[in-house]
Structure formats: structure tokens, C-alpha cells
Amino acid sequence: MTDPTPEPSPDAEGQNAEQIPPAVDPQEVLKAISGIDLDSIDTDIESAFGARMAELDQMLAGLDDLVNKIEQDIQNLDQPKPDGPQ
């Protein structure tokens, strides 16, 4: 019996060898393989960062208020007391 699969001609192999594979975006490959979308990750990180920065801003505002109160208390202690009746 003979093998029904024909042998490829040398011309066909030469044509395939000249073809250049298309450029592939690594992010698209990662998304296709793992289902991870880098844009959504970036959005999540920015959202979390923004929330933390808002908390930090509130903490710093509280510290500014505390520093102002302490400075005012120190100024009040440094002022001489009025002389009472002697």
C-alpha cells in the first residue's frame, strides 16, 4: 500500500518560509492566556492610590490643626500674667 498523504513540494516550503509572522502585542497575549486585562489593573491601582491619598490629606490636615493648637498654647504660656493686687 502506498501512503495517501502527498509529499509537500519544495516550492510550497519555500513560499511558507518567506512569510513573516504578524506582530503580536504582548499585552494581548497575556490577556488571552490569563484573562488579565492590564488596563483594569491600572484603573484599580489608580483608584486605590487616590483613596489612600485622600486619607493622607485628611491626616495631614489634622496634624496641621494640632500643630496650630500647640503653637497657640505655647504662646499663651509665654505671655506674662498680669500682676494681681499686692
Q: What is the pLDDT of residue 78?
A: 79
**Per-residue confidence (pLDDT) for residue 80, from 0 to 100:** 76
Kindly report the pTM of this predicted structure: 0.45
Joined together, the cell numbers standing for residue 11 give 516550492
pLDDT per residue, tens digit, the chain (86 aa), is 566 666 666 555 555 666 777 888 887 887 788 877 888 889 999 999 999 999 999 999 999 999 999 999 999 887 877 765 55
Q: What is the pLDDT of residue 26?
A: 82
Maximal C-alpha separation, the chain: 134
Query: What is the model's pLDDT at position 9?
Result: 61
Q: Tell me how far apart the alpha carbons of residues 13 and 32 are, in angstroms, rounded to a whole number.
A: 30
Sign of CA dihedral 42, 44, 45, 50: positive
pLDDT value for 53: 96
